[in-house]
Structure 1
Amino acid sequence: MNLIPQALTPSLYDEDLSESEQQEILHLQQEILAAVAQNLDHLAVIRQVCLLEEQLLPDAVASVMLLDEQKLLQLYVAPSIPAEGAARLSNLRPGPHAGSCGNAVYRGEAVFVSNTRSDPRWQELRPLALDFGLMACWSMPIRGAGQQILGTFALSSFVGREPNAFHRKILEIGASIIGIVLERQRQEQTLSLLGKVFESSNQAIMLTDSQAGILEVNRAFSDMTGYSAAEVKGQRPSLLSSGRHDRAFYQNMWRSLQERGYWQGEVWNRRKNGEVYPEWLSITAIREAGQITNYVSFFFDISEQKATQARLEFLTCHDPLTELPNRLIVQEQLSQAMVSSARRQLQAALLYLDLDEFRTINASLGQAVGDQLLRAVADRLRQLLGEQYPLGRLDSDEFAIVLAGVEELDQPAELAEQIIQAFLKPFVIAGHELICTLSIGIALYPEDGEDGDSLLKKADSAMSHAKQDGRNTFRFYSESMNRDAAAHLQLRTGLRRALAQGELFLEYQPQVELVSGRVIGAEALVRWQHPQLGRIAPADFIGVAEQSGLIVPLGEWVLQQACAQAAAWQRAGQPLVVAVNLSGVQFKRGDLVDSVAAALLEHELDPALLELELTETILIEGTEHVLDNLQRLKALGVQLSIDDFGTGYSSLAYLSRLPVDKLKIDQSFVRSLRQVPANATIVRMVVQMARSLGIRSIAEGVEDAQARDFLLANQCDEGQGYWFSRPLAAPALSALLQAGAGHLPPSV
């Protein structure tokens, strides 16, 4: 703000002023500017102005009156007016008869009264003039920076007189400089107040220049970010960037600031200690003459608000005691499971769990113990299920588990059995050891219901049946499924015992070279002699073994037994290539190659006498992983064949990448060569494919001479089937080979 008013500039001096008057004005100007330059208190400066003006007008007093909030004039400074007179100069309402000062404000212009005793403008204040001998009064409005009237500056004379040019000039100078001083004082007060607001605000404040360089920050900024003002001055706000927002986010922010001058929203920033936190940020562009000069940012940490909001949202969908999804979410998960399962033409399952004797525990030990038990139950279920199956709490001691994409009945039954076994371990709650078993009901989609409500009701009903049947068990809603599940459970339990008690054994089906009729190999086939159920077909227990994970120890046992027998034939001078089937579960495990190498080493078997049969499906899944394992197996020296070839997706290009030695044509094609002409074409194509790749072919299911002749005519290398021999125990096969000098007579 320019501190030298126009009234003080020499270019505005009145030509009528004498040289001495001009010198006095210059002296007045110097004195006033000196007082301003000393940075004195504004009241001291105004008092100095009044005293200087009184020196230039003898027999006169100077006064300053300011408007208050009610627009009434109040005496502000009057160094030469006695106290009793000053007391009467208060609450003066501007108007046409309110004296010189009241008229100056009322008219908005200078008022010069030369005779207060006769001038009508002094009608209301004439008693004051008479009491104190005031004869003349000249008043000039004091204006602020926006030209609004702040009050008046007056020279009151004890002599009646008209103001000359000199008097008008000094009055103008006084009013002008007092307006400047008052405006500066107001600005200082405003700045002081703003400074206090800036520092005491609980919102972080940051002021930057037009290029986003940080100029100032307040204490709340330092408290929130951990950076002191000294550390951030001259830096850019990107110092706080969390990395969570992309470039487009900040481009949109600055575009809004340029176009609208304002942006606000939620931002994730990073504190000095590395902690990322959310804040609500408001940025305003400050403009002067249409150009952005600064940006001011206000922001506050909303971590607590977001945590509260997240907690409220969580509690809307979750049980507050166990923090499991509530019934509403379980129903949503069940609906999603039904939709996804239907799309894949599979089943979905709902397991309805209820604690046995929970009400007794709750009643005898108290609700606090009951609540702790429920939390412990939820934790145990979470640990058992992991992220694989959605788990929720329906009510009190009732829980639910949703299974999508169910392929086999064993899947929900096995899971139910695992849960039941896990709950045989006691809980230790508040010093009490509690056995808390479960009763589980299972309902299937779409067989038991095609909507969530139906499945919940039927799973609940099945759970009630489990309670009635003695608790600590599970039941399907369908009785037929209960019988199937019981049968599967019996097989699974029996198979574990069979592995431990030697109920399993191997038989070997010869593999014959078609051109010579010589037995060159044998496929090892696992058999199970159950002590109560008798002989169980592989088709009935291999699937159970794969679903339960028992296929891994079973496959390891078969590999060891087959290698031991092949080594025995090798030592006896009857070397045969023994073929062993591998399941997909075995092949996906990381230790298959090591297991094969260990078996070869343990039994001192020539690797060329071991053939590993892999299904076409295994080879198609996960090509790079498959190729790596095949290369490692091939490096051991064993032979590799593809079993059941033709039943899956195959291509010459794909096969050319695999280091296999033999393609095994599935028996379903061979047995129906005459009945289904297309099968004969498929067999020919497989044989030709093998020959084009330089590998051997073998056909399963050779049960008559016609099939043998067809295969021989189409240059198939080997055959296997009942026409040559049924699967035999190892001693029986050895005896036949000795009797036939390595050949087998047809068994038809």
Structure 2
Amino acid sequence: MKTLVTRLGLSEEEMAERKQYLELGERDCEVLRAMNEQLGEHGGGMADSFYAHLLKYPELGERLGDHAALQRLKQAQAVYFRGLTAGRYDMDYVEDRLRVGVAHQRIGLDPKWYIGAYRKYMSYLLPVIHDLYAGDRERTIAACDALFKVISLDMGLALDTYFEVDRQEILRHKEYAEQIISGLPAGLIVLDEQLLLRSINPAMRRLLDLGPRPLAGQHLSAVIDDPALADKLAQVQGGGTPALDILIRRDVQGEERYIDFHLARLQLGASHVILIIGGDVSERIRARAELRESEERFRLTFSMAGVGLAHLSVDGRILRSNRRLQDILGYSEDELRTIDYDEITHPGDRGKGRELLDRLLRNEIESFANEKRFRHKSGRYVWSNFTLSLVRREDGSPRYFISVIEDITERKQTAEKLIHLAQYDALTQLPNRTLLQDRLLQAVSHAGRNRGRLAVLFLDLDRFKDINDSLGHAAGDTMLRQIAARLSMQLRESDTVARLGGDEFVILLRDVQKDEQVAAVARKILDAVTRQVTVGGVEFMPTCSIGISIYPKDGRDGETLLRNADAAMYRAKENGRNSYYFYSEGLNEKLLHRLHIESGLRHALEQNEFSLHYQPQVDAVSGEVVGVEALLRWKPSSGAPVGPDEFIPIAEETGLIVPIGEWVLREACAQAAEWRRDGIAPLNLTVNVSLRQFRSDIASAVATVLRDTGFDPRSLTLELTESVLMESPELVEETLQKLKALGVRIAIDDFGTGYSSLAYLSRFSIDTLKIDRTFVLDLPDSRDDVAIVKAIVALGKALNLSVVAEGVETAEQADLLRGERCDVLQGYLFGRPLPPQALRERLLDARAVLT
């Protein structure tokens, strides 16, 4: 309060002067003190009346607080009223009065309410004073006069308080405004209506490089001399435009600077002022220029880039695209803006990279790349190397994506071609051994994890080499392609058929439940293969042999499964071909034994390991030996003899039968010629000819042997199997005619076991039918076999053919065959196959008839 007393200049001298002016003397103080003692009981009433009057006005009621606060104010007011007539008006009184005034000013009690309160106070006291002095006019007037004087003194102090507080508030606001203006980062100039400077803040001085020199009262042109600014100021000064903006360029200390000025005309009292607010926008201007340059560079780069570029909205719309992307996809930029990104993405790639996209949105990665396919406007799909990054707003939220799309279709196609060449068979387009092994590895792994089963079928075409040998490799390739197509049609999408090479195929069956299921597939394959094929105008009825191994019982890895299926396939061939066989333990040993035999056969001729035995053939009526059949025997130099049933099929499959057969023919003819020179009566020599031999220009080979050995061709019979007749009729007929021209006789061996057409017997130059031993074995007990034998003999007689029965071991069999008019008999009953020397001795014996 002392500070406030000082600011108001309320010294003791000032207060004495105010009392003197109000004529407030000691007599008045005595009257007031006397009155104060008598008014003590009215303090509370006056406070109640005072605040009751104030509370009539809602705006005051809001400021006077709650009930408790109001009671405290009333108590304070009662004390105040008692102090008003206390008669002591020294400096303590002054400070107390000022304190009350400050309190009322702070709660918002304007002077009008304050003066009204004094009026209420007087209205309350006048009746009280009148009653107090019981009509004593002089005393009443003296009391009222003293009371008016002190109230005037008190009101003066209160109003001084209000005015000083308001003045201090104005000074604070002025100082605050000046501080704000001085501290503004923007420059500010205040002009009067004549454009004379009233003030300029430090920021504007720095902006214009004006220094600290005084500028107040100078014309604006002394600070800024710019015609464009002057023109704008004239517009604002005239009042036609309240505010304008202008950008000017100034050179400040050798630096080009751009200043943005805002001009405004404001009413200030009865006059106007003009404000010039300026800011340095040089960096912004330069940044904009750089941005424009950068945008131009970006536009050119974006437009001329060698890869496709696009801006994508967060929801997948194409916002912007460059020329390369339009070329890649075949759409114009306007068309692309109407296309959703997912619409042109291959369905199989729409979910691709979803996890990476989520990580990108979570700001865990800055970008990602993968390969995707996009649909070209033409409908074809384009392979691309697709890169995506995200542009964010300042708050970190996604703004748009930038995608880079590189057309890798050609590269992908080249890679796919290379992969295809590496993994697929060029002839059949089936998976090759490499891809098969990969799929087999995956299938075994999957089956192992899921405790499943799978099957491997090893398929080999029967007698395929004969096609290559007879018609050439082009014909063989044609058949392989047809077989490959047939195999593919029999399988599920999850299965695999592969070509290992040559005529070998492998089929992988996944998720098989039972062996019966695999067997059913094998039968379907056999049926599919065994359909007529026309190659080079020649009709064939191909067959195949299938070996089967099952995971896990036959092997727990692909190599073992393939090896065991291969072994089972050889067993299927041994069982007559055109069949399937499941692998069983021990087959590998048999396969190794077979490979050992094949290896031995390749060296048997060179090492003279072959020999011939001859089995007599007797006239069914006379019992005389009329001929012999040459039978091949093999005794490897490093092992035990190998039976014909074991090595002949292997020689047939490997093609070794051709050179071996030529050796047999030459050796037999030479031996028969020697017997004749030894004086043995001429015998018919029968030599077996395989299918491969028949196809390998057999007529030329026979002619050469006959010429070299001097053997009579009329005594030579070549035995052919029925399968030979199933070859191309023209080829068979031509070859048989050549042989017949040499004088050689032709016999059909094992007649009745094949599928030859009876028409072939009349068409071709056949001399002899040979009844297979299987029909003789159960004679005379088997009624079916008896009927078959009768039919064959009758057929031979009807066609004027000689009939030979082999495998005759009992007299009963011989008697029945004689009874059916069979011409020649052969079997153990008449003699086992003998070496040349042993047979020679038998033939020279006087007992030439062996019955």
Same fold (TM over 0.5): no
**TM tier relative to shorter chain:** 0.3 to 0.5
Answer 1 or 2: which has greater helix percent.
Answer: 2
TM-score by length of 2: 0.36
Q: TM-score, normalization: structure 1?
A: 0.41
